[in-house]
Every structure is written in C-alpha cells, then in structure tokens.
Copies of this chain bind each other. A is one copy, B any other.
Amino acid sequence: MEHLGQRVWAIPEGFIPDSSTGPESMASHETACILNTGDEDAHVEITLFFPDREPAGLWTVTVPARRTLHQRFGELAGDGSVPVGSDYASVLVSDVPVVVQHTRLDSRQSANALLSTVAYAAR
C-alpha cells in the first residue's frame, strides 16, 4: 500500500494525569498513535511545547514499514521530558507520510475516562 497521510502533525492538547487507579494495565497515559501504511520505514521527530519554557526535543521514533506504533509520551525520557500533571503540546515531523491520532486514558478517579481525536495535519 502507498504511504497514506501527511508529514507534519500537531497535537495542541497534552496532559499526563498524575495518578491512576486500578490495575497496571489501566495506568493513566497519553499516546500518539502513528500509522505507517507504506513500504519505507518512517522516522518521526517529536517536539514538545510547554506554557512557560522553550520547546524540548527532538525525540526520534521509528515506525517500520507497514506497522503502527502507539507511542506513549510518558516514555520519552531524558532532558525536557514530560512532567506528569502539567500542560504540554506536541508536533510530529515524519520523513514519509503517516497518519497520527491522539488518545488519553485518565484513571485518576475510580473509573477511567478516554479522549481521542485525529491530530491536525499541518503539511
């Protein structure tokens, strides 16, 4: 299949809940779901934006040809990584077209909540 999608995606909403309830599998998290339908690996550079400091990054993740990667923002480690319980946003730049969807699972209270939206395709 050809490479469906676009190369630059933006996700203005970002917030990793600072607590969870329930089993490990239900831990609060926030994810960029990246789909690479084509025959070349996608190298995706992630930049994080904050309310009160300069952007952080780049983190680079690889989505192999004909694969999907559901990348948790909380697993981007190192300097400038995302603190839990605070606002952020993200931009993803890929070298081949991909499709990006944003999802959060929030299990701070006694039942979980979900949100999801296809990200904004900027270019």
Using a CB–CB distance below 8 Å, which chain A residues touch chain B? Answer: 1, 4-5, 8, 10-15, 18, 21-22, 25-26, 31, 33-35, 37, 47, 49-52, 54-55, 66-70, 85, 87-89, 91, 99-123
Contacts and interface: CB of A to CB of B under 8 A. Distances in A.
Nearest to A68: B89
Nearest to A117: B117
A15 B33 CA distance: 11
Given A13-B101, A51-B70, A91 B1 contact: yes
A120 B117 contact: no
Contact of A104 (B12, B35, B114): B114
Contact of A10 (B54, B99, B114): B99
